[in-house]
Amino acid sequence: MYLSESEKFNDFSNPEALVWSEKGMVYGDWSSGSNGDGSRMHSIEFKTSEVISVIILSTVYPEF
C-alpha cells in the first residue's frame, strides 16, 4: 500500500511512499491471517495535509 498526496500515483519505486507490503500472499486463500479468514489489517498514523483531506473527502463524498 502506498501513501501519496498525488491523486494519480505512479511512483512505485519510491520507498518512502510504501507504507505496507506483504509478500507471499496467495490468491483465494481464505484461511490465513490473524483472524483465520484470509483478511489482513495494518494501521498507521500520519498527519494529513489539506490536499489529502480534500482527496479523501471527495472520494467518500463525491458531491464535495
Residue with cell 505496507: 20
Domain that holds residue 49: 1-64
Number of domains comprising the chain = 1
For residue 11, give the amino acid letter. Answer: D
Rounded Cα–Cα distance for residues 43 and 63 (Å): 28
Q: What's residue 64's pLDDT?
A: 58
Instruction: Tell me the three cell numbers of residue 7.
Output: 491523486
Q: What's residue 48's pLDDT?
A: 75
Beta bridge partners of 2: 18
pTM of the model: 0.57
pLDDT in tens, 6-60: 778 899 999 989 999 999 989 999 999 889 999 988 888 877 777 777 777 777 7
Beta bridge partners of 3: none
Q: What's residue 37's pLDDT?
A: 94
